[in-house]
Chains A and B, each alone.
Chain A
Amino acid sequence: MKIKTEQIHFSEGLSLESGERLDSFDLIIESYGELNESKSNAILLCHAFSGNHHAAGEDEELGIGWWDQIVGPKKAIDTEKYYVVCCNNLGGCAGSSGPTTINAATNKVFGKDFPLVTVDDWVNSQKMLMDKLDIPYWHLVAGGSLGGMQALQWSIAYPDKIKKAGIFAAAAKSSTQNIAMNEVARESIRKDKNFHNGDYYDHNVTPKNGIKTARMLGHITYLSEELMDSRFGRKFQDEASKVDQDVDFEVENYLQYKGEKFSEFFDANSYILMTKAMDGYDAGKGRDIEEAMENIKAELLIVGFYSDWLYPAERGKEIQIAGMNNNIKSSFVVFDGEHGHDSFLFHSKEYSNVIKKFIES
């Protein structure tokens, strides 16, 4: 599969939900497949909080794409039939404008001064991307977790520009528990002595320990109790492959390893920004989500997983019910899912079939 990577500049800037303004910005995107003549086969993928534009295929630097099990030739989202686009969201740290990029006004990295961005801002920037790519509408916008929130927001904000929305392992708003978990993660970053109140770039350090702890907590919430049990149990880590001498159990070693790897590339200010965007999202903007959804024209496919306790299937069902109350064609499917919240990332025959049939029906 051919991966096309582009850096796209938006000199027109973007007014943000917070009232602040980005005078100009960049989005880095990947695309797979070809836009057909009638421009009717475009699909937008939205990434979850720590994801990026590299959704599918293998890249020398970025490895295998985050949704490679679902997206590719002859896969559920078939790149031989569809033109598939994925961008790194604003505020990220994989190439789009964010805390690690240069602020043209000061000629220094934005750092903690990068403005607060929201799911709505992302969707608005993706709409600008759509226009720039000369795509009249998306046949499908899909994503899991925070990506699913973007797919839902697309159907609310641009009802005429989206035919179908795939909302997987997501909710119409973050729960109190979600916010609480994210706050623990943020606190561990803020309390790292290398954080320097977000200005660590000036000190040539990164709050690696804080990011690592945050990610370790994150991983616990992404997995299910059952999976942790079956994968690690109470097995001890063998001496030779211990990442740290303090480690006893395999699960400790796993979290240490994952956290360490993540802390080597993910930016702390981005982490804070992305989790804030996730916490802040509320499709209803304080109102009932049913009211917010009344203008949706897209067909909705909402998928939940029984093993997901971070965004339980019931949260997805609420979106479907609100859709049905608004006479929107909406389906709600639940699978067992072996991987907890992360289940949306993994192929299973029934999950892939449902996605494929939804796209093609």
Chain B
Amino acid sequence: MATKLTKIINHWVPENSKVIDFGCGDGSLLKELIETKNILGYGVEINNLKIEKCIEKGVPVIKQDIDKGMNEFKSSNFDLSIMARSIQCLKNPDLALNRMLELSKRCVVTLPNLGYWRCRINLASGKMPVTPELPSSWYETENIHLCTIKDFENLCKKENIKIKDKVFLNKDGSRGGLASIKPNLLAVEGVYLLEK
């Protein structure tokens, strides 16, 4: 999973840059960027077991609930902030987006697309979507703010956030093809490079 994402966002990450990854999980994305781009990376994570995995990899990590604030990271001069597959778990995704762009000039955001046709079929049959990308039932999912590609881009417009680049992913994680023809219907995931 991380390997594919690294390939997609690799050219957005400057060599030797300072990067913060919100919701960094086990730190594998940062670890790869450290190895391929020689970045100075910090992860932010709430789950202690995942934090342990980061430390095992030698990836610096900070225990923090992103919903409780990101202001303390402002003074640290990051070049890039990343939030991969986490923004839909936050209480205030719009605030988080703005905060990220306050603490770094650019940010990378990836999100699952609720407009993907499989999700729509689920909804059309009267049920909350459960797909390989969104496998949890509505009562146990951490995804409290799911949106479609269109919703997300509308939010960016409303918040005056510039989309510098974007990539849409197919079910197998590949880019282009069907996903780029009609992303809101055919992409499972959107990957964005944003600037304020």
Residues of A within 8 A of B (CB): 299, 301, 317, 320-321, 324-325, 327, 329-335, 350, 353-354, 357-358, 361
Q: A321-B75, A332-B63, A354-B51 are in contact. List 10 more A-B contacts (CB 8 A).
A: A324-B73, A324-B76, A333-B51, A333-B63, A335-B48, A350-B48, A350-B49, A350-B52, A353-B52, A354-B52
Q: List 28 A-B contacts (CB under 8 A).
A: A317-B72, A320-B62, A321-B72, A321-B73, A321-B75, A324-B73, A325-B76, A327-B40, A329-B60, A330-B60, A331-B51, A331-B54, A331-B55, A331-B61, A331-B62, A332-B61, A333-B48, A333-B61, A333-B63, A334-B63, A335-B48, A353-B52, A354-B52, A354-B55, A357-B55, A357-B56, A361-B56, A361-B57
Please give me the residue from chain A that is nearest to B54 by CB atom: A331
Q: Is the CB of A325 within 8 A of B75?
A: yes
Nearest Cβ on chain B to A342's Cβ, whole angstroms: 20
Report the Cα distance A219→B58, complex, angstroms: 36
Give the residues in chain A near B61, CB-CB below 8 Å.
331-333
Give the residues in chain B near A335, CB-CB below 8 Å.
48
Q: Does B116 contact A (CB under 8 A)?
A: no
Nearest Cβ on chain A to B70's Cβ, whole angstroms: 12
3 residue pairs, one from A and one from B, having the closest CB atoms: A361-B58, A357-B56, A357-B55
Report the Cα distance A361→B57, complex, angstroms: 6
Report the Cα distance A335→B73, complex, angstroms: 21
Give the residues in chain A near B54, CB-CB below 8 Å.
331
Please give me the residue from chain A that is nearest to B20 by CB atom: A324
Give the residues in chain A near B62, CB-CB below 8 Å.
317, 320, 324, 331-332
How many chain B residues touch A (CB < 8 A): the figure is 22
Please give me the residue from chain B that is nearest to A355 by CB atom: B55
Give the residues in chain A near B72, CB-CB below 8 Å.
317, 321
If over half of B's interface residues share one DSSP class (helix, strand or loop), that class is named, otherwise mixed; here it is helix
Q: Does B168 contact A (CB under 8 A)?
A: no
Give the residues in chain A near B192, CB-CB below 8 Å.
none
Q: Is the CB of A361 within 8 A of B55?
A: yes
Report the Cα distance A331→B60, complex, angstroms: 5
Nearest Cβ on chain B to A336's Cβ, whole angstroms: 9
Report the Cα distance A350→B51, complex, angstroms: 10
Question: Known: A317-B72, A332-B62, A350-B48. Is A327-B56 also a contact (CB below 8 A)?
Answer: no
Question: Known: A321-B75, A354-B51. Is A327-B57 also a contact (CB below 8 A)?
Answer: no
Q: Does B18 contact A (CB under 8 A)?
A: yes
Give the residues in chain B near A320, CB-CB below 8 Å.
62
Give the residues in chain A near B63, CB-CB below 8 Å.
332-334
Q: Does B42 contact A (CB under 8 A)?
A: yes
Give the residues in chain A near B48, CB-CB below 8 Å.
333, 335, 350
Give the residues in chain B near A334, CB-CB below 8 Å.
63
Please give me the residue from chain B that is nearest to A302 by CB atom: B62
Give the residues in chain B near A299, CB-CB below 8 Å.
60
Q: Is the CB of A358 within 8 A of B55?
A: yes
Give the residues in chain B near A357, CB-CB below 8 Å.
52, 55-56
Please give me the residue from chain B that is nearest to A329 by CB atom: B60
Nearest Cβ on chain B to A359's Cβ, whole angstroms: 10
Please give me the residue from chain B that is nearest to A313 by CB atom: B63
Report the Cα distance A301→B56, complex, angstroms: 12
Question: Known: A331-B61, A333-B63, A361-B56. Is A324-B51 also a contact (CB below 8 A)?
Answer: no
Q: Is the CB of B52 within 8 A of A321?
A: no
Nearest Cβ on chain B to A307's Cβ, whole angstroms: 15
Please give me the residue from chain B that is nearest to A290 by CB atom: B75
Report the Cα distance A331→B51, complex, angstroms: 9
Give the residues in chain A near B58, CB-CB below 8 Å.
329, 361
Question: Known: A325-B76, A329-B60. Is A301-B55 also a contact (CB below 8 A)?
Answer: yes
Give the residues in chain B near A332, CB-CB below 8 Å.
61-64
Chain A CB count within 10 A is highest, among B55, B61, B75, for B55
Nearest Cβ on chain B to A298's Cβ, whole angstroms: 12
Please give me the residue from chain A that is nearest to B41 by CB atom: A329
Nearest Cβ on chain B to A344's Cβ, whole angstroms: 16
Please give me the residue from chain B that is nearest to A322 by CB atom: B75
Hey, what's the 0/1 contact readout for B11-34 against A, CB within 8 Å counting as 1?
A: 000000010000000000000000
Nearest Cβ on chain B to A64's Cβ, whole angstroms: 27
Give the residues in chain B near A358, CB-CB below 8 Å.
55
Please give me the residue from chain A that is nearest to B75 by CB atom: A325
Report the Cα distance A357→B51, complex, angstroms: 11
Give the residues in chain A near B60, CB-CB below 8 Å.
299, 324, 329-331
Q: Is the CB of B18 within 8 A of A327?
A: yes
Give the residues in chain B near A327, CB-CB below 8 Å.
18, 40
Give the residues in chain A near B76, CB-CB below 8 Å.
321, 324-325
Nearest Cβ on chain A to B33's Cβ, whole angstroms: 14
Please give me the residue from chain A that is nearest to B56 by CB atom: A357
Give the residues in chain B near A353, CB-CB below 8 Å.
52
Nearest Cβ on chain B to A301's Cβ, whole angstroms: 7
CB within 8 Å of A: which of B130-170?
none
